[in-house]
Structure 1
Amino acid sequence: MIRRIRLSPLDMLDVGLLGIRTRRMRAALSALGIAIGIATMVVVTGIPASSQAALLRDLSALGTNNLQAMAQTNMTGPGTTPKLPEESVAMVKRIGPVTVASAVANTHARVRRNDRTDPQDGSGLTVLAAQLDLPQAINTKVRSGHWLTAVTEKFPAVVLGSVAATRLGFGDLPATAAPGPLVMIGDKWFTVVGILDQTPLSPDIDRSVLVGWDSARSQLSFDGHPTTLYIQCQESAIEAVRSVLPETISPVDPGQVMVTRPSDALAAKRATESNFTSLFLGLAAVALLVGGIGVANTMVISVLERRSEIGLRRALGANRGQIRAQFLTESVALAALGGIAGTAIGLVATAGYAVYHGWPIVVSLSATFAGLGGAVAVGVIAGVYPSVRASHLTPTKALAST
């Protein structure tokens, strides 16, 4: 009675790796084929993804999630100033997708460099009451000094826009803790505590002198009604937010509220995301196909070269299932080794290229693991036919062909 020999998983792995250990150069060249395919997949997805991230970052800087709301000038009578309700900012902040909402208000005061200049000459600048979270709402930074705080907004302190600082004759503020220079607004002196960087999305802010909300009330007779709201929200919901802003800002008379339309850059950004996604999928499929063909070709040749080995193992009692498992294990191992090497090469190449161009490094862990899993899957598929072909070789036929 013939007793069937069973191989443990470790024994089967050892037998499957035999061809790789004994034919190292051929195994290295075979793994190189799949490595090039996987590295290509990582590179052609990683580099465009990094480029896309840089492009989307630049498009986002154009205000793809920004909206502005202001009162319609033609809705007010002659000689009056358009105003929005005092509680409008707080109401807008209650809208779910809104992330930041702030406001400014025209105080109609005039600013002068000192008390010796013409009181009627405001240098073409606007004095605005500003809320504390304005810099976040308009994506700007302080170039020199600091922004208004919860303390300084109650006192006569101002922050100058970039153009306003130039027209008033100020460069960067001194770094010392000494009191800053003074400007005159109306008939009162205000201390300059900061100068803003340029704000391309809000050029009106560049030509403005910004006073704290509470300070404007106490020093400039400000009535607390904002004139312009600056809003940031989730990009995916920007159209929905825009549609409800008039009723939210002024429930009594929503027709008096004018809301800017979303930036044209938002449409460009969405189109870019869609086009890049389609490109990634196509390139990844081609790379995996090329690698799979290489592994399949290698395994078919391996079967042809190793007929004598197959015949000898069959003669010594190996069954067809064990022969299939041996060559399938070798195919998967070659693909896995190539996948690991290709992933490492692709990640290094992607990171180096992104750093060279100043792009953010974008490496998707899901895509990386999918590449490794894809390599193993390709190894399984590519090894099925050669392993089945090897298992159907009879001992006499295999030995006779040597």
Structure 2
Amino acid sequence: MTVRARGTSPSRPVDGEVSSTRRRGGGGRRGRPGRLGPLGRLGRLGRRRRPDRPWTDPRDLWSESLAGVLARPVRSVLTTLGTVLGIGTLVVTIGVAATAANQIVGRFDALTATSVSVVVPTPPPGSLDPPLVRWRGVDAVRRLAGVESVAALSDSENTSNIQVKANDVVAPGTVSGQTLSIVAAEATLPAAVRGTMTTGRFFDAGDIERHERVAVLGDQAARLLGIGDVRDAPAVFFNGQSFTVVGVLGGFRREQRLSASVILPPTTAADRVGLKEVTRVLVNTSLGAAAQVARQAPIALAPGHGESLTVLAPPDLSRARKGVEGDVDGLFLVLGLVSLVVGAIGIANVTLVTVMERVGEIGLRRALGASRRQVAAQFLAESTTIGLLGGVVGAALGVAVVVGVAGVRQWTPVLDPRLALGAPVTGALVGLVAGLYPSLRAARMEPVDALRAPS
């Protein structure tokens, strides 16, 4: 006797089992597959291909973002204005800084970068050694390549404070004299100090050769002594001697201290004051030749003893230019960055307000099948568009302001093309960063809650 459970049939196996005849290949319907239980059916459904996720054409995304920007033109303009001010300020500050730095360095090149000074040590008192540099030895420097003008000077501590008077008459209530410096110089001194004769003339080679008792006053010394015209051959008096003033030298662009000095010919200074040895040599070079002249001048002035001379040469122009530009750029760059941050905050604020006003639209998009990523991309595209437009307009206005300022100041405008071309990209990046939080907040909205929210 065969015993079986109630409700079962020998011809139908329990659900979830495969018939023994099916496993052995015989009995029942030949070739009929066994039945799968619920777990088998779920496994088959799990292996089915998922439908493709919805995808948005970038052109449609761009057109929708542009339509969203143009839907509220006044608000979009005001929002873009923040980026325009930020980008424009950035372009203006960097452009004006570069232009001003170029102007500063240009003046530095013209005045300082072509000036070389050679200091000659004074021999100790009572020394029998010949002087390192003679007055006629300066001609060797004039023959160097790149040299434009040279002049030798002689001064000392004993002649730095001499009581000089414009007349030899002592009158009650009048100033008896002024304390001035007495120096000796070559006839080429006006060109070496880049000065001009305001009145009269400078002594020449004939005056030097004849040991004439003539003098040239610096413009400040002439004002202190009350001498404004030399047509009447005024005289100055010091150390009990008189010297005829033949001219007044002014406009010093080098050695401004000579403006308060009495300048004598070398021969006259050696005879009357005791200034015999050359103590300094002033050299003016063409632009770019200062370094070479600074190396060659000591050898030309004192062959074999060039290391005893001290050369004062300008610093390297490339380093000076970079230093000036770096300082000016760093000073003005902060203002541009602050304005740019303010513009970014404005875009973020307005984009967040727009998200709150378009809650119903967001819910409808989600209900129609739009994904969170598509909603976030929509608002990111709008904020990026606003930043891009602000960057383009700000860059154009900034370039115009830089050119205008340079034109008014008669400067040469200096603009980096990468700055003008990179400004719109910078504006787009600012808009992209500013729209991150509002777009994420829009993407996190649930369709049901968004549709129920009051519009």
- Compute the TM-score of the two structures, normalised by the length of structure 2: 0.53
Equivalent pairs counted in the alignment come to 304
CA-CA distance at 1:316 after TM superposition: 1.8
Question: SS of 1:17's equivalent?
Answer: helix
Q: Which residue of 2 aligns with 1:259?
A: 311
More moved, 241-250 vs 313-322: 241-250
CA distance in 1, matches of 2:141, 2:201: 34
Per-residue deviation, residues 70-110 of structure 1 (Å, max 9, x unmatched)? 766757449953526948965xx6xxxxxx4445588xxxx
- Given the superposition, is the C-alpha separation of residues 233 and 250 from structure 1 closer, same or farther in structure 2, using an over 3 Å criterion? farther
SS of the equivalent of 1:309 reads: helix
Structure 1: which amino acid aligns with 2:361? Answer: E
**Alignment match, 1:380:** 432
Contact 2:364 2:451 in 1 (8 A): yes
Matches of 1:139 and 1:185, distance apart in 2: 19
1:163 partner SS: strand
> Is 1:81 the equivalent of 2:135?
yes
Counterpart position of 1:301:
353
Q: What corresponds to 1:400 in structure 2?
A: 452
Structure 2 unmatched runs, 5+: 1-49, 124-128, 153-183, 210-249, 264-280
Larger relative contact order (Cα-Cα within 8 Å, sequence gap ≥ 6): 1
2:380 to 316, 323, 328: 328
Check the 8 A contact 1:331/1:380 in 2, yes or no: yes
* Residue 362 of structure 1 pairs with residue 414 of structure 2: yes
- Which runs of 5 or more structure 1 residues have no equivalent in the other structure? 94-99, 107-123, 129-134, 141-160, 169-182, 187-196, 208-226
Q: Distance in 2 between matches of 1:369 and 1:139?
A: 46
Q: Give the corresponding residue for 2:239.
A: none
Query: Would you say 1:289 and 2:341 are equivalent positions?
Result: yes
In the alignment, is the contact (CA less than 8 A) between 1:288 and 1:374 conserved in 2? Answer: no
Q: Which amino acid aligns with 2:404?
A: G
Once the two structures are TM-superposed, the CA of residue 254 in structure 1 deviates from its matched residue by 0.9
From 184, 200, 206, the equivalent of 2:253 is 200
SS of 1:83's partner is helix
Q: Could you give the per-residue CA deviations for residues 116-172 of structure 1, whole angstroms, max 9, x where no partner exists?
A: xxxxxxxx99566xxxxxx9xx797xxxxxxxxxxxxxxxxxxxx95399538xxxx
In the alignment, the residues of structure 2 paired with residue 89 and residue 80 of structure 1 have an alpha-carbon distance, to the nearest angstrom, of 16
Distance 1:312 1:267, change over 3 A: closer
Shift of the 164–314 alpha-carbon distance from structure 1 to 2, 3 Å rule, reads closer
Counterpart CA distance in 1 for 2:324 and 2:400 is 25
Counting only pairs closer than 5 Å after superposition, residues 1-400 of structure 1 correspond to structure 2 as: 2-69=51-118, 76-77=130-131, 81=135, 83=137, 86=140, 90=144, 100-102=146-148, 104=150, 162-163=196-197, 167=201, 200-201=253-254, 229-231=283-285, 246=298, 252-255=304-307, 257-260=309-312, 262=314, 273-400=325-452
Tell me how far apart the structure 2 counterparts of residues 76 and 381 of structure 1 sit (CA, whole Å): 77
Tell me the SS of whatever aligns to 2:344.
Answer: helix
Q: Is 1:38–1:343's contact at 8 Å kept on the other side of the alignment?
A: yes
- Structure 1, residues 336-382: CA drift from partner, whole Å, max 9, x if none? 10111112222223332343344443333333344333222211111
Kindly provide the amino acid, as one letter, of the partner of residue 291 in structure 1: G
Q: Counterpart amino acid of 2:253?
A: P
8 A Cα contact 1:53 1:359, kept in partner: no
TM-score by length of structure 1 reads 0.60
Which amino acid in the other structure matches residue 63 of structure 2?
D
SS across alignment from 1:375: helix
* Change in CA separation of 1:139 and 1:232 when aligned onto 2, cut-off 3 Å: farther
CA distance in 2, matches of 1:139, 1:126: 12
Letter aligned with residue 335 of structure 1: G
* 1:147 matched residue in structure 2: none
Deviation of 1:308 (Å): 1.6
2: CA distance, partners of 1:248 / 1:184: 27
Distance 1:71 1:397 in 2: 91
Match of 1:146 in 2: none
Whole-angstrom CA distance in 2 between matches of 1:287 and 1:306: 29
Question: 2:79–2:386: 8 Å Cα contact kept in structure 1?
Answer: yes
Which stretch has the larger CA shift, 10-19 or 243-252? 243-252
- Indicate the structure (1 or 2) with the bigger Cα radius of gyration: 2
Distance 1:254 1:38, change over 3 A: same
Q: Which amino acid aligns with 2:436?
A: V
Counterpart CA distance in 2 for 1:62 and 1:33 is 43
State the SS of the aligned residue for 1:5: coil
Q: Is the 8 A contact 1:354 1:360 kept in 2?
A: yes
Instruction: Provide the rounded CA distance (Å) in 1 between the counterparts of 2:409 and 2:418.
Output: 24
Q: Secondary structure at the match of 1:363?
A: coil
